[in-house]
Structure 1
Amino acid sequence: MIMYDFAVIGAGMAGASIAAELAPHARVLLLEAEDAPGYHATGRSAAFWDECYGGPGVVPLTLASGPYLREHGFLTTRGALHLGRAADRAAMDDFLATFAGTGATIERLGRDDIIRRVPGLRPDWIEAIHEPACADIDVAGLHQHYLGRARRGGVEVVCRARVGQLQREAGGWRIATAAGAEYRAARLINAAGAWADGIAALAGVRPLSIRPYRRTMAQLRVDPPAPADLPLVLDINGTFYFKPDGGRLWLSPHDEIPAEPGDAAPDEIDIAIAIDRFEQVTGWRIAAVERRWAGLRSFAPDRLPVYGFDQAENAFFWFAGQGGFGIQTAPAAARLGAQLALGLDADAMTQALDPAAYSPARFAQERKLRSA
């Protein structure tokens, strides 16, 4: 039986990207439970790169990933507007203060500038924060890029390989899949997204309370048609966002509904909520709801990603809790994760990142403080 240096569990964007980064340095196995990689969160992304998305703690990962994404042609600049009414001025001020000094490019706009960008906007939306660097991201292209890099680097990619048992043994792990296959690896990389805590439990590792949440999306046909150059439009209070896509409009109620790991499906009430909120923003008529879907996003308790070896099990590496920002931060996150897993020094992409901010050690420290 082959002994792999690393077995990466989960072949979505997280698993594919870290496997690709590990490949030049190690023998890597990439296990995917579904028939094809990227079925869940990766395949259902809203597909944008936004400097402020995820909060100040995520900005360094997003900015570090930008050059790689642009260089390889995965970004198309669109811009973003965080809209507000008169009652939202304090929220606007808080947003500007929160991201001041992070390196994100943001500016405040008035009504005249807004309506040039969002025709048909209702009169009570009078202020906005503009993010000129926000871009569409080619999610499928990026995912295939990393899978291709991984395969060319010698990574063995195995689908229909849902992990059923993880057994610690001398020198590493014995991995058994639900289909009856067995593999051995010196170290595990937990890139299982919504299933990350479940994989930890199978390995006898203390879960980190990484919780999945459902996000709802709908594709609308609107009249007049959505302008192709419409920016990503978000509510400053986080109750909706929408963006154009191929002559249609993608709309979300910006929901985060606790869910169990699984094949997420939209609830009709959430679609109705999204439409109601949209109709309060523009005068466009909704001609049809053409598609609806939902995906899972997974967060650690502090909403920052988790990258690093477990404090109690030094052959178990966390690469999870990447919320809805795992795609836009994939290049820097994967590079940092591989460097930590391999014991390599930082490079130009990761030198500005603080690994301690994302380490699982922070949860052990919090537990000690609570018990003191």
Structure 2
Amino acid sequence: MKHFDVAIIGAGIAGASIASEIGEDRSVLLLEAEDHPGYHSTGRSAAFWTESYGGPLVQPLTSASRLFLENPPPEFSESGFLRPRGAVNISRDDEQHLADQFLSDFAESGLSMDRWSWEQAAALVPNLKPIWTHAIHEPDCRDIDVAALHAAYLRDAKRKNVELICRAPVSEIRKDGGMWELSARNESYRATVLVNAAGAWADGIARMAGVKPVGIQPLIRNMVQIETDPPSSPDMPLVVGLDGSFYFKPEAGGGYWLSPHDEIPAEPGDVAPDELSVAIAIDRFEKVMDVAVRRVTRKWAGLRSFAPDRLPVIGFDAGKDGFFWFAGQGGFGIQTAPAAAKLARSILLGQAADASLHLINARLYEASRFAQDR
């Protein structure tokens, strides 16, 4: 039976990033149920980084991640992971209140936001229908290279001697003599600290470990790739509906990626695109853009997992020693990964937080906030 200081369950962006952060200071085991890390959620991201995404209580984690994503340490990556994109958040002529509320929500954040007219928005979004008269421009929105970031975290973890084992779904967890014992792929492992970075499976892992779940719910998000006439402009920004009903952005080759911004409750597992959701996504897109949809070229779905208050869960469980939550990161887990992993490191290792996290209120994300409900 192998012994580790820390065992991490789940090698998506959450597990890979925290493994990278603590690998130099602790012996670390990283267990992944699938053949390859990042299969379910990380590998199905819409691949954008925008500071308003997730709301004002998530925004500090996103903002604190920017420097690392743009200029990572040279030993981590030779290049950054962000490329300029920009975003335009829009609402109809009878929905000014949505634009007003959006600006109000981020009034104290320091984010770069500008209220625009339809004419200004249409200059960046060709073929935008004129009913979308309220617009807020976010110039700092970026595309993010999700695959490269995830691979860099895994590579860095390997450099720090983290032991990654794939095709190793955990079948049993028990506490014995102050140590966690895990069974996975007919092998047994022991660890002082168990990190639950299992995404959609986080509550199931908690139950297996004798820990009360916090209520993390997997939600299906559908994505569609289409061809249109006329085609998209490569310089067009991300377009987001302020009513929360759609977002889309241009794709290489003149197409678009779009989503109905749906959240369909689901059980953890491999999810497939829903035909009704695909049709809804296209219908909503056609209500925004004066273009003809020629064909669907690709469609897929992924899981986004949220705690009841839609904030990440980062920290030790209040009722079980040595059980560390790093889950509930919803659709913002990739864009917040650097800051979230640094925060998790400081809590897990009992160290002072990195200077880049000085604007983050870590208490918002503590696992213990759910203790009174348990």
TM-score, structure 1 normalization = 0.97
Q: Which sits farther off after the overlay, 23-32 or 351-360?
A: 351-360
Q: CA offsets, 1:114-150, max 9 Å, x none? A: 1100111112111201111000000000000100010
Structure-1 residue corresponding to 2:104 = 97
Structure-1 residue corresponding to 2:238 = 232
CA distance in 2, matches of 1:144, 1:14: 12
Structure-1 residue corresponding to 2:11 = 11
Residue from 176, 198, 201 that aligns with 1:195: 201
Structure-2 residue corresponding to 1:71 = 71
Give, in angstroms, the shift of residue 71 of structure 1. 0.6
Give, in angstroms, the shift of residue 112 of structure 1. 1.3
Q: How does 1:112-151 map to 2 (within 5 A)?
A: 112-151=119-158
Question: Does the 8 Å contact 1:332/1:350 carry over to 2?
Answer: yes
Structure-1 residue corresponding to 2:77 = none
Q: CA offsets, 1:91-125, max 9 Å, x none? A: 11111111110222211100111110011111211
Equivalent pairs counted in the alignment come to: 366
Give, in angstroms, the shift of residue 185 of structure 1. 0.8
Give, in angstroms, the shift of residue 2 of structure 1. 2.5
CA distance in 2, matches of 1:117, 1:353: 33
CA distance in 1, matches of 2:187, 2:297: 41
Structure 2 segments unaligned to the other structure (5+ residues): 73-79
Residue from 307, 310, 313 that aligns with 1:306: 313
Structure-1 residue corresponding to 2:359 = 352
Q: How does 1:273-352 map to 2 (within 5 A)?
A: 273-352=280-359
Residue from 248, 252, 258 that aligns with 1:246: 252
Structure-2 residue corresponding to 1:25 = 25
CA distance in 2, matches of 1:108, 1:125: 13
CA distance in 2, matches of 1:299, 1:217: 19
Question: Superposition RMSD on alpha carbons, in Å?
Answer: 0.9
Give, in angstroms, the shift of residue 352 of structure 1. 2.2
What is the SS of the residue equivalent to 1:34? coil
What is the SS of the residue equivalent to 2:288? coil
CA distance in 2, matches of 1:249, 1:124: 21
Q: Which sits farther off after the overlay, 349-358 or 275-284?
A: 349-358
What is the SS of the residue equivalent to 1:199? helix
Question: Does the 8 Å contact 2:2/2:188 carry over to 1?
Answer: no
Structure-2 residue corresponding to 1:185 = 191
Q: CA offsets, 1:25-50, max 9 Å, x none? A: 10000000000000010000000001
What is the SS of the residue equivalent to 1:324? helix
What is the SS of the residue equivalent to 1:233? strand
Q: Which sits farther off after the overlay, 82-91 or 345-354?
A: 345-354
1:306 partner letter: V
What is the SS of the residue equivalent to 2:221? strand
CA distance in 1, matches of 2:111, 2:37: 32
1:294 partner letter: A
Give, in angstroms, the shift of residue 55 of structure 1. 0.6
Give, in angstroms, the shift of residue 314 of structure 1. 1.8
2:20 partner letter: A
Aligned sequence identity (%): 56
CA distance in 2, matches of 1:86, 1:284: 20
2:173 partner letter: L
Structure-1 residue corresponding to 2:183 = 176
1:360 partner letter: A
1:327 partner letter: I
Give, in angstroms, the shift of residue 257 of structure 1. 0.7
Q: How does 1:49-64 map to 2 (within 5 A)?
A: 49-64=49-64
CA distance in 1, matches of 2:116, 2:358: 34
CA distance in 1, matches of 2:224, 2:285: 11
2:349 partner letter: L
Give, in angstroms, the shift of residue 351 of structure 1. 2.4
1:60 partner letter: P
What is the SS of the residue equivalent to 2:331? coil
2:152 partner letter: H
1:142 partner letter: L
What is the SS of the residue equivalent to 1:215? strand
Give, in angstroms, the shift of residue 287 of structure 1. 1.4
2:157 partner letter: A
CA distance in 2, matches of 1:219, 1:232: 14
Structure-1 residue corresponding to 2:277 = 270
